[in-house]
A and B are shown apart, each in its own frame.
Chain A
């Protein structure tokens, strides 16, 4: 009995620790004052109004959205065959390769960003936009591989063999039988990867440049100059959108089992 009370206390403390900052941000975004303060004084929606009217935010939002969608899509297209191979076949050096594929998720983002900067921009001299897209693809790849692998492991290999024994080539069986049955895994991978890309700072920091910035980078830049609650309002919008996407995906598809 006593134990469970202590556990409950720990749970509440953790909850406050995790959720608290979000609540502070959301509440402070409704402040009517021009300086961030908690608890806020007054109530207004002026910062929301301001967010929508700052052009930098609008252009960088679209940049983040486009980068995120393109990189996620690419990482999925590359990640599915890799996950499929790794789940289905055994080969020498498989563990080492799996570790290598997941390295961008283990190595600190700043290091990855710097490495990509050296490689893409200095050595290859490719356009910044392309570098940003490729860099995001690289960091999303481990996520798509991992989530798709999890859903493939839940899929009975016998089903694929049944399709082959009925006359499908292995490739046809993959598209006709495997893909339709790992749909929710694919969607889970897409959402996780997209959110990862959309929120990424360390890698984007190195791979953005004149005229090319993502929303989180723009938010950082803005915060260096202004202390008003605009960023709180913008963050609140992002939080709400993220929660809605993840919750509805969980309700409809039960994606949490793949993450």
Chain B
């Protein structure tokens, strides 16, 4: 039995419609699972349903074998870390961290020791008497972390915890979170819209869209083998061309894009279900391309709208039969004024998905 089980959840009504409908989620103990998706995809609603701030209208929430359906948030043993830290502005660092311990009636003589341990863990010894306003963004997030892990929660929920920090601090805090997770072995659910954060932190990623799970898998699964057009696009397969399925064989899948035939040798989740004649979309990453001045196998004809030389790479904006394509290639591969070029995409870097009319 999984550590967290959301079964058949309907929750988070917006204008009479549930954000999550018939939603299922299982998370194992000790996992760090990311909920990844654009804003409005339901990832925050999922988090708040687990925390208890949104009560599911339907379905069941089970955490660590306890049925939490209908249990108010203050009776669930769950730590929460917010995007804007949500520290108590009128309390010192020490009192912020002590808050949960006092509410849990932890014996008074044990509190100072626990606080010292946790502040040590997040490298904030010496800051006990500061107010939140006297701390930097990174330090505030450390206090928020300390405050939520000192109560030894069954589960830690993090809602875009790094998005208010600048790039350098974000890298640091990411490493720190990873270390904490390994050190404490605590189950974490991490909500983010940043794919790099999700890829680098998670043991498993759940990509969400419009209240449903598009795909779940390891970071490699998600990055290498997106199973739906949405996931492909979200994870950086920015280029897509429309085509028609011609053949599905041992060698791979052959697709016609315009007059050109293209081969994909890459297996993605649902490509084997495709039938000959189906409308499909071909996805590839801008940095998996090459720009050539002659036709070769697996190339499509394109014309350069714009080229931006950036030293080690050149960024091209191209169009293929009216579809805009972006390419990032090493060095400068063709003259800027080339009339006709061919975009080459390696067969193992192409993903074929059913065209769902997006």
Which A residues form the contact surface with B (CB < 8 A)?
A: 156, 158-159, 161-170, 172-173, 177, 180-181
Is A159 touching B74 in the complex (CB atoms < 8 A)? Answer: no
Chain B residues, CB < 8 A from A172: 103
Q: From B79-87, B171-179, B222-230, B237-245, give the one contacting chain A.
A: B79-87
Give 7 closest A-B pairs by Cβ, nearest first: A167-B103, A166-B100, A158-B86, A162-B86, A165-B80, A180-B90, A158-B82
Is B84 touching A165 in the complex (CB atoms < 8 A)? Answer: no
Chain A residues, CB < 8 A from B148: 165-166
Instruction: Say how far A131's CB is from chain B's closest CB, in angstroms.
Output: 40
Chain B residues, CB < 8 A from A169: 74
Is B74 touching A164 in the complex (CB atoms < 8 A)? Answer: yes
B126: interface (CB < 8 Å): no
Is B90 touching A166 in the complex (CB atoms < 8 A)? Answer: no
How many Å lie between the Cα of A180 and that of B53 in the bound state? 23
Instruction: Say how far A128's CB is from chain B's closest CB, in angstroms.
Output: 43
Among the listed A163, A164, A167, which residue makes an inter-chain contact with B88, where contact means beta carbons less than 8 Å apart?
A: A163
Is A167 touching B90 in the complex (CB atoms < 8 A)? Answer: no
Chain A residues, CB < 8 A from B99: 163, 166
Residue of B with least CB distance to A166: B100
Among the listed B53, B74, B83, B86, which residue makes an inter-chain contact with A167, where contact means beta carbons less than 8 Å apart?
A: B74
Instruction: Say how far A172's CB is from chain B's closest CB, in angstroms.
Output: 8
B73: interface (CB < 8 Å): yes
B162: interface (CB < 8 Å): no
Is B90 touching A161 in the complex (CB atoms < 8 A)? Answer: no
How many Å lie between the Cα of A71 and that of B79 in the bound state? 43
B147: interface (CB < 8 Å): yes
User: Counting chain A CB atoms within 10 Å of each CB, which of B72, B83, B100, B151 scores highest?
Assistant: B100
B104: interface (CB < 8 Å): yes
Chain A residues, CB < 8 A from B90: 180-181
Is B87 touching A159 in the complex (CB atoms < 8 A)? Answer: yes
How many Å lie between the Cα of A159 and that of B84 in the bound state? 9
Is A165 touching B88 in the complex (CB atoms < 8 A)? Answer: no
Residue of A with least CB distance to B100: A166
Q: How many residues of B contact A (CB 8 A)?
A: 25
How many Å lie between the Cα of A159 and that of B140 in the bound state? 13
Residue of B with least CB distance to A169: B74
Cβ contacts B73-109/A at 8 Å (1 or 0 each): 1101011101110111110000000011001100000
Between A and B, how many residue pairs show CB distances below 8 Å? 59
Among the listed B73, B87, B100, B104, which residue makes an inter-chain contact with A161, where contact means beta carbons less than 8 Å apart?
A: B73
B19: interface (CB < 8 Å): no
Among the listed A158, A159, A167, A170, which residue makes an inter-chain contact with B100, where contact means beta carbons less than 8 Å apart?
A: A167
Instruction: Say how far A44's CB is from chain B's closest CB, in angstroms.
Output: 51
Known contacts A165-B79, A166-B147: A177-B73 contact under CB 8 Å = no
Q: Give the secondary structure class of A's interface.
A: helix
Instruction: Say how far A208's CB is from chain B's closest CB, in angstroms.
Output: 42
Among the listed A168, A180, A181, which residue makes an inter-chain contact with B103, where contact means beta carbons less than 8 Å apart?
A: A168
Is A156 touching B103 in the complex (CB atoms < 8 A)? Answer: no
B351: interface (CB < 8 Å): no
Residue of A with least CB distance to B80: A165
Known contacts A165-B73, A166-B147, A168-B74: A159-B80 contact under CB 8 Å = no
Cβ contacts B56-84/A at 8 Å (1 or 0 each): 00000000000000001110101110111
Chain A residues, CB < 8 A from B103: 166-168, 172
Instruction: Say how far A156's CB is from chain B's closest CB, in angstroms.
Output: 6
Residue of A with least CB distance to B53: A161
B253: interface (CB < 8 Å): no
Is B88 touching A162 in the complex (CB atoms < 8 A)? Answer: yes
How many Å lie between the Cα of A170 and that of B52 in the bound state? 13
Instruction: Say how far B162's CB is from chain A's closest CB, in angstroms.
Output: 16
21 A-B pairs whose Cβ atoms sit less than 8 Å apart in the complex: A156-B86, A159-B87, A161-B80, A161-B82, A162-B86, A162-B88, A162-B144, A164-B73, A165-B76, A165-B80, A166-B99, A166-B147, A166-B148, A167-B74, A167-B100, A167-B104, A167-B151, A168-B103, A170-B74, A180-B90, A181-B89
Chain A residues, CB < 8 A from B86: 156, 158-159, 161-162
Chain B residues, CB < 8 A from A173: 74
Chain B residues, CB < 8 A from A156: 84, 86
Residue of B with least CB distance to A179: B90
How many Å lie between the Cα of A121 and that of B305 in the bound state? 83
14 further interface pairs, Cβ-Cβ under 8 Å (given A162-B87, A163-B88, A166-B74): A158-B84, A159-B86, A161-B53, A162-B88, A162-B147, A164-B53, A164-B74, A166-B99, A166-B148, A167-B100, A167-B151, A173-B74, A181-B88, A181-B90
Chain A residues, CB < 8 A from B80: 161-162, 165
How many Å lie between the Cα of A161 and that of B89 in the bound state? 14
How many Å lie between the Cα of A168 and that of B80 in the bound state? 13
Instruction: Say how far B150's CB is from chain A's closest CB, in angstroms.
Output: 9
User: Counting chain B CB atoms within 10 Å of each CB, which of A159, A162, A165, A169 scores highest?
Assistant: A165
Cβ contacts B10-22/A at 8 Å (1 or 0 each): 0000000000000
Chain A residues, CB < 8 A from B104: 167
Instruction: Say how far B163's CB is from chain A's closest CB, in angstroms.
Output: 14
Among the listed B74, B87, B89, which residue makes an inter-chain contact with A165, where contact means beta carbons less than 8 Å apart?
A: B74
Chain A residues, CB < 8 A from B205: none
